[in-house]
Structure 1
Amino acid sequence: MAKASFEALNPYTTHSFLLRQFSEFTAPYHFHPEYELTLIVKGKGNRYVGNHMAAYDDSDLVLLGSNLPHCWKNEPLTAEDDNVSAVVIQFAPDFLGNDFLGKPELSLIAHLLQKSMHGIQFTGKTAGAIHERMLALTLEENSFKRLLGLLDILYALATSKDYTLLDQQGLSSQASGARSERINTVLGYIIDNYKNEILLDEAAALVSMTPNAFCKYYKKTTKKTFIETVTDYRVNYAIQQLIYSDRSISDICFDNGFGDLSHFYKLFKRKMKLSPLKYRKEFRKDL
């Protein structure tokens, strides 16, 4: 069954938080109670946070809230893009005690963590500065200085204005219990299959609903139809290929789950206000 899986992190033994480096992205669409700060040192592909999808590149920096489903997929368009490297910090909501974030001096960080329920991408000078600090943190052997370094990073993020909220609806954080599990299951199914054939009956069966009941439920919960969500994922991925590759429009169409070229043109133009070919030309004029 395609769904957002729960990830149980390794227990913290000698440190109050986890600091790890990765050279490959194999985790499925998943969630965990820990907050997560992920820096992509090198890599290209798609980032999925809640119901938000976007391309990521070198120096991508994102803070994720507790239990917010997510994954990074390395999807290089050229052989040169195949190498990946990331630094990931994960910490529990009470990693410094139940009342620590309630202290007045920590109010800005507490507010930052509240906003992270949507997923936060940091850009500009903030991303550059934090990039260097996180790399330095991987070299720090003193556990006390590591902790101070993390707090310093969180404070810098809390006071930054160089950010964008990703999953602005915050569906995963607003939902609870069975409703949250259903949405995460469906999003996991879409993420795993949007470049192939997606069946409404199959998606409905994953959450034990009839197709009709599922369509009503999905639209009420997400404010979009199931098909609109699938189309958004497919068009967004097509945009990346139009920008970063020289593949033909027809190849992009059929490799992204669209079964008909004219239908692809119609849906793309409705979303982007330009035809795929015009979009590619307009974007590349600015390069």
Structure 2
Amino acid sequence: MKVFPFKIPKPLDQHLIVQVDKEPVFYNRLHQHEEIQISYILNGNGKLLVGDSIHQFSAGDIYVIGSNLPHVFKSIPRQEDAHMITVFFTEKSFGAAFFKLPYLKDLRIFFTNATGGFKVTSNQKDIAQQLVDIQSQQKLQLFVSFLELLEELSKATTEPLSKFIYSKTLSSTEGERLQDIFDFVFKNFQQPISLDDIAKMAYMTPNAFCRFFKQRTNKTFFQFLIELRIEHACQLLNSKKELNINIISDLSGFNSISNFNKKFKKIKGITPSQYQHSLLL
């Protein structure tokens, strides 16, 4: 299967797709698709790469990922399967003019926010229950519940996922190259990675690699690498509270505690110690 574009399988007469993923890990290839994606994570945790940003995900999270927004859920393998419920649809699923009807004007904020994707930060319990209930519904009941879900998502407070929207659908070659880059970085971010190393892996000169990566992610490679390392450090601070900050710095790929503290505060706005303390409140 080609990484870009990714086709959501569906019958010709089905306008809403409800998909349940329950596997050791979520689909782990960078991909994009025309459909907007609403996902509720019942079990599993890891890192979500979406557009130009990296985020932690864990059980209970609800995400909306916009049309053609490149993304991948990188799960941490656990004894229990990762479990996610997702609804896929497009703005034209019910006709090009359907969501422009005056009766549905309150839903426009949902589509505006969905462009760069968002995480739901309020009323998660009720929205999660709506997504659980949708699994077993059919036809009219499913359609009504879907509109009610969009209404709740439109009213919820949210946290944006990505500020950079790549204006094109990436080609298969571009997608495969980005996938190889991200796979390499996710496997090796705890070790030193030089520009020559990553450029050679991508079969490009360093200058060509820098242009390629910046044009498609809106950030330099080393910005991306540092953000990945900081998100990994946050996961360790959350899940390995017995580890001290020096060890977490080493395990996250930083070669000095001072550099780790500096980069952490620049990205998160607080020091690792302050972040660790906030988890105890």
Please state which band the TM-score falls in when normalised by the shorter chain: 0.7 to 0.9
Q: Cα distance 1:93–1:275, how it changes in 2: closer, same or farther (>3 A)?
A: closer
SS in 2 for 1:169: coil
2:68 alignment partner in structure 1: 67
Whole-Å Cα distance in 1 between the matches of residues 7 and 14 of structure 2? 17
CA distances 1:78-100 after superposition (whole Å, capped 9, x unpaired): x6x84432111111332112222
Contact kept, 8 Å, 2:41 with 2:85, in 1: the verdict is: yes
Q: Give 1 or 2: higher helix fraction.
A: 1
Whole-Å Cα distance in 1 between the matches of residues 84 and 261 of structure 2? 32
Alpha-carbon distance, 1:74 to partner:
2.4
1:131 alignment partner in structure 2: 128
1:162 alignment partner in structure 2: 157
Q: Is the aligned partner of 1:16 residue 2:15?
A: yes
Unaligned runs of 5+ in 1: none
Unaligned runs of 5+ in 2: none
Q: Cα distance 1:13–1:236, how it changes in 2: closer, same or farther (>3 A)?
A: same
Q: Is the aligned partner of 1:226 residue 2:221?
A: yes
2:92 alignment partner in structure 1: 94
Whole-Å Cα distance in 2 between the matches of residues 223 and 35 of structure 1? 22
Contact kept, 8 Å, 1:265 with 1:275, in 2: the verdict is: no
Whole-Å Cα distance in 2 between the matches of residues 216 and 248 of structure 1? 38
1:243 alignment partner in structure 2: 238
Q: Cα distance 1:223–1:65, how it changes in 2: closer, same or farther (>3 A)?
A: closer
* Match for residue 151 of structure 1 among 138, 147, 154: 147
Identity fraction in percent: 23
Return 210-219 or 88-97, whichever deviates more.
210-219
2:52 alignment partner in structure 1: 51
CA distances 1:184-240 after superposition (whole Å, capped 9, x unpaired): 555565445434554423544576642124335645765543212201111111121
Q: Cα distance 1:161–1:152, how it changes in 2: closer, same or farther (>3 A)?
A: closer
> In the alignment, residue 70 of structure 1 is paired with which amino acid?
H
Q: Cα distance 1:281–1:136, how it changes in 2: closer, same or farther (>3 A)?
A: closer
SS in 2 for 1:118: coil
Q: Cα distance 1:197–1:90, how it changes in 2: closer, same or farther (>3 A)?
A: farther
Q: Is the aligned partner of 1:84 residue 2:82?
A: yes
SS in 2 for 1:27: coil
Contact kept, 8 Å, 1:66 with 1:93, in 2: the verdict is: no
Q: What is the Cα-based RMSD across aligned positions, in Å?
A: 3.2
SS in 2 for 1:95: coil
Q: TM-score, normalised by structure 2?
A: 0.80
Whole-Å Cα distance in 2 between the matches of residues 115 and 275 of structure 1? 30
1:112 alignment partner in structure 2: 110
Q: Cα distance 1:196–1:66, how it changes in 2: closer, same or farther (>3 A)?
A: farther
Contact kept, 8 Å, 1:243 with 1:280, in 2: the verdict is: no
Contact kept, 8 Å, 1:65 with 1:114, in 2: the verdict is: no
Q: Cα distance 1:105–1:284, how it changes in 2: closer, same or farther (>3 A)?
A: closer
* Match for residue 205 of structure 2 among 198, 210, 228: 210
Q: TM-score, normalised by structure 1?
A: 0.79
